[in-house]
């Protein structure tokens, strides 16, 4: 492919930094927009000095500041967002500003600059807790957002698709399931199970398993996710939504077995499904994409990069119990 000028928002984050690596390897000129609120500049340290990489510390919700960087850009990969359930409930305004207003600013800057492709990072959390008949979950399953994070990511998706419809900007939205791999977040009691478990493994602590551990998640390795974005960006698809998952859910107990070590069980949390399971028929057919990294291979890969989690905070049953109790108290108050 002819080298292109590409913007990656959130390019210092977990998935975004891997996408930057891939796009640079493909020969493109990449500009990263990231305010480093959740991303880490260290995720791009190995690219320091690369003449085809430009890093801009900027907040995507500040339109006037980011708009000039879109001039002459061919393609935008929009990863920047605030994540996690509980913080979104405690601070919904900030999530709306980042995930909805921020997305509008990015897609509007793309429109005004004549960007030719826009790929949005959506979340499978928009499906909520699907009824049994919606497993595996297709892109046409009912939307049932359970908390502000899920809502704002879905509103961001709808904003991008609406701009595509009205202004003829080619937009593709990828609804990600449970992404894992090196550089994933290292803190938080809600989500980031690999980061939590690996930090516990390094410190010789037992793994804190929510519920009985039989719940399953559609884990998808980060390199496979990046490939889905590349295929979406290089394709002619427009105004399409695709699930991105493995299509092969794995239990948390199996993850613990692969990592090896003791485990303790903590109470199940509200708003979490017993299963996430992506139907990936559509993306296989339209983008000729399919996952390549098995769960066993993926777990082995992140164990090989375990030093990344060495300085991560370690959640113990006691600290998680306190956080969970705070969560229930917050629900009761609201």
Rounded to the nearest integer, the mean pLDDT of the chain is 91
Superfamily per CATH, domain 181-217+248-272+294-333: UDP-galactose 4-epimerase, domain 1 (3.90.25.10)
- The average pLDDT across 52-69 equals 98
Residue with tokens 């430009």: 54
- The average pLDDT across 41-63 equals 97
- The average pLDDT across 166-182 equals 96
Q: How far apart are CA 108 and CA 90, in angstroms?
A: 29
Residue 234 annotated among the catalytic residues of the structure: no
Total Cβ atoms within 10 A of residue 112: 13
Residue 317: pLDDT band (50, 70, 90) is: low
Alpha helices (H) along the chain: 14-25, 63-66, 85-90, 92-96, 102-113, 148-167, 193-202, 222-234, 252-259, 281-287, 295-304, 317-333
CATH of domain 5-179+221-244: 3.40.50.720
Whether the per-residue pLDDT at 94 is higher than 70: the answer is yes
What confidence score (pLDDT) does residue 107 get?
98
Spatial CA neighbour of 124 closest among 273, 229, 286: 273
- The average pLDDT across 194-215 equals 89
Spatial CA neighbour of 243 closest among 197, 184, 176, 193: 176
Whether the per-residue pLDDT at 189 is higher than 50: the answer is no
What confidence score (pLDDT) does residue 320 get?
54
Q: How far apart are CA 178 and CA 117, in angstroms?
A: 25
Q: Cα 122 from chain centroid?
A: 8
pTM: 0.92
Q: Is the dihedral of CA 150, 252, 40, 79 positive or negative?
A: negative
- The average pLDDT across 181-185 equals 85
Most confident of 2-16, 255-269, 306-320: 2-16
Q: Which residue in 120, 127, 135, 149 is the catalytic one?
A: 149
- The average pLDDT across 296-303 equals 94
Phi, psi of 94 (to 5 degrees): -65, -40
What confidence score (pLDDT) does residue 329 get?
57
What confidence score (pLDDT) does residue 115 get?
98
What confidence score (pLDDT) does residue 75 get?
98
Tens-digit pLDDT profile for residues 216-273: 999 999 999 999 999 999 999 999 999 999 999 999 999 999 999 999 998 887 667 8
Q: Is the dihedral of CA 321, 209, 13, 158 positive or negative?
A: negative
Q: Where along the chain do its domains lie?
A: 5-179+221-244, 181-217+248-272+294-333
What confidence score (pLDDT) does residue 307 get?
72
Residue 311: half-sphere exposure toward Cβ, Cα within 13 Å? 2
User: What percent of the chain is predicted at pLDDT more than 70?
Assistant: 89
């Amino acid at each position: 492919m002819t080298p292109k000028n590409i913007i990656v928002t959130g390019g210092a984050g977990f998935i975004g930094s891997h996408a930057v690596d891939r796009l640079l390897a493909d020969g493109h000129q990449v500009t990263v927009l990231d305010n480093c609120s959740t991303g880490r500049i260290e995720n791009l340290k190995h690219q320091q000095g690369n003449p085809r990489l430009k890093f801009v510390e900027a907040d995507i919700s500040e339109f006037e500041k980011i708009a000039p960087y879109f001039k002459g850009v061919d393609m935008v990969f929009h990863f920047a967002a605030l994540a996690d359930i509980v913080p979104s409930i405690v601070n919904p305004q900030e999530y709306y500003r980042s995930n909805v207003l921020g997305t509008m600013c990015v897609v509007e800057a793309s429109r005004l600059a004549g960007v030719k492709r826009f790929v949005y990072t959506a979340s499978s959390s928009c499906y909520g807790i699907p009824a049994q008949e919606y497993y595996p979950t297709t892109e046409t399953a009912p939307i049932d957002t359970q908390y502000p994070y899920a809502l704002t990511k879905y509103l961001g998706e709808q904003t991008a698709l609406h701009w595509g419809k009205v202004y003829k900007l080619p937009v593709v939205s990828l609804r990600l399931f449970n992404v894992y791999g090196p550089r994933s977040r290292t803190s938080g009691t809600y989500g980031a199970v690999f980061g939590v478990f690996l930090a516990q493994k390094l410190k010789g602590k037992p793994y804190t398993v929510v519920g009985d551990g039989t719940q399953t998640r559609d884990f998808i390795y980060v390199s496979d996710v990046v490939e889905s974005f590349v295929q979406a960006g290089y394709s002619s698809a427009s105004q399409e939504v695709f699930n991105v998952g493995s299509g092969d859910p794995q239990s948390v107990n199996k993850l613990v077995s692969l990592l090896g070590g003791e485990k303790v069980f903590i109470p199940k949390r509200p708003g979490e499904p017993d299963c996430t399971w992506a139907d990936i028929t559509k993306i296989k057919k339209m983008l000729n994409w399919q996952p390549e990294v098995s769960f066993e291979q993926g777990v082995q890969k992140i164990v090989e990069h375990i030093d990344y989690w060495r300085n991560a905070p370690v959640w113990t049953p006691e600290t998680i119990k306190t956080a969970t109790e705070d969560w229930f108290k917050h629900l009761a108050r609201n």
